[in-house]
Structure 1
Amino acid sequence: MIIAQEKRKTNLAEYILYMWQIEDLIRAYKFDINLISEAVLQHFNLPEEKQVEVKDWYENLIEMMKIEKIEEKGHLQIIKNNIEELFDFHLHLLNNKKDNAYIALFQKSAGHIAEFRTKSQATDDNNDIELCLTALYGILLLRLQKKEISKDTLAAVSSFSEMIATLTAKYKAFEEDKD
């Protein structure tokens, strides 16, 4: 929860990826808050009140995942909304045509995005930003499993990473200007 709050403020893409990890962690522990407490929460050296707050946060996520029927796969609607926010901002940058650097990053990634869309059998419902984030998350999982990743895949994901990093930095600046 504490990490999620900080990431939400500083980098929306990292927040989304972190929340996907949390969803997977909840699934791995079969939605059992006691198992999550034993395996994860007890390792945080937090004051008692913060421990209760973090446990409540996990319990709320568990409940939301059950209500939204994403026990097996899928993502929370609030996270999907964050992806849509980023995608809308991405479209704004592309349509504005004033940010040539970002447009160039997207053009550099566009072929890789199309290829990933085909390989992953994504539908038109999956926007370009969601595809990039999915690829980045997939690489994270492959690295955790110590699996080999091809040079072509690393090149594609590198272009996604650069584009997403730029997008989230610009989004953060945009949000700060609104406040």
Structure 2
Amino acid sequence: MQKSRRINIFVIHLSHVMIIAEQKKKSNISEYIIYMYQTEDLIRSYKFNIDEIATYVVKHIPAQESDKQNLVKWYAEIAKQMQEEGIEKSGHLSFVNEIMEALSAMNLELIKSDRDYRKIYDQAKIHIKKNRDLSEGKITDDIQICMNGIYGFLLLRMNGKKLDESLQSSINAFGDLLSYLSYKYQKRNATQ
């Protein structure tokens, strides 16, 4: 079996955003979800003002003008969908939530049927429980807890902050679990 690759956590360079989003969707669904979370937050930070996104984000991307125009259209489409779904302040796009639901269902299935996955899950379980307790019952889904942990780590890094060393084992466990789950997800969807 091919070894799953760990989720790469990095500040995403915005050039060719649409292409990157599609590549991530095909190659690592967890990275795609995190990428879409980042896109939603970017749009929110500019208060859905596409002109400002064009001026302060897209304008500075080293790309051809036609690519920049397409990128602005893509942001506008995402922003419109967010507004239509009423997630201007918080929440995630319905298609992103559907993918999360599929990953959560697959998680439950793999815990029962895949010995390698079960070992990885068992390593992450203590960290998942700890984060579930910290959320005071607001987040109960194991995969959402892992995704939030990884995304929170990304936000820290983007803001130039360091992760407390006591949390590094949680991030590693979450990354390992999501990487293996993404590998299985991609493998299953490649055959459908």
Q: Same fold (TM over 0.5)?
A: yes
Count of paired positions: 175
1:129 aligned onto 2:137: no
Instruction: Say which of 168, 176, 191 aligns to 1:162.
Output: 176
**Structure with larger RCO (C-alpha < 8 A, sep 6+):** 2
Contact 2:112–2:118 at 8 Å: present in 1 too?
no
1:18-29 → structure 2 map (5 Å cutoff) = 18-29=35-46
Cα RMSD (Å) of the superposition? 1.5
Does structure 1 retain, via aligned residues, the 8 Å contact 2:46–2:52? yes
TM-score (ref. length: structure 2): 0.85
Partner of 2:116: 101
CA distance, structure 2, for counterparts of residue 143 and residue 49 of structure 1: 31
List runs of 5+ in structure 1 lacking aligned partners. none
Q: Which consecutive unaligned segments of at least 5 residues does structure 2 have?
A: 1-17
Q: Secondary structure at the match of 1:75?
A: coil
Q: Deviations over 1:11-58 (max 9, x none)?
A: 100000001001110011110111101122123343444333222111
Distance 2:101 2:60 in 1: 34
The share of aligned pairs that are identical, in percent, is 34
Alignment of 1:1-179 (within 5 A): 1-96=18-113, 99-123=114-138, 126-178=140-192
For residues 187 and 128 of structure 2, the distance between their equivalents in structure 1, rounded to whole angstroms, comes to: 25
The structure 1 segments of at least 4 consecutive aligned residues displaced by more than 6 Å after TM superposition are none
Give the 3-state SS of the residue equivalent to 1:85 in structure 2: helix
